[in-house]
Amino acid sequence: MAEEKQHSRLDDDDYPAFTMGRAADLLGATPAFLRAIGEAGLITPLRSEGGHRRYSRRQLRVAARARRLVDQGTPIDAACRIVALEDQLEEARRVSNEPDGVK
């Protein structure tokens, strides 16, 4: 039973599996970058019992998109806004393509 729970966490894109340091390493970024996109409201990391930030794979994919824009010279706040607007547009497209009454 415990093993099944562990495997389900491995498959869960929203499970906060990564510490700030590990997340920064995976992104090729700094912890300050992760704090900045958190302060901009792009992602909200979960906190461990000790208060440390923890990131999910889904959050890291969003952070990677912002990182690419920042690497191209876009200011962090603007990059966060662009990514958020892209996500809103994608969601609106998805909803508009659903049959009536299905959500």
Residues 53-75 have a mean pLDDT of: 97
Amino acid occupying residue 98: E
> Alpha-carbon distance 91 to 95, whole Å?
6
Cα-based distances in Å from 47 to 15, 35, 71, 82, 83: 12, 13, 27, 26, 23
- The answer to whether the pTM exceeds 0.85 is no
For 16-59, the pLDDT digits (tens) are 999 999 999 999 999 999 999 999 999 999 999 999 999 999 99
The pLDDT, as a whole number, for residue 5 is: 61
Q: How confident is the model at residue 69 (pLDDT cuts 50, 70, 90)?
A: very high
Q: Identify the residue with better confidence: 64 or 2.
A: 64
Q: What element of type H or E holds 54? A: strand 53-55
Contact yes or no for 47/10 (Cβ under 8 A) = no
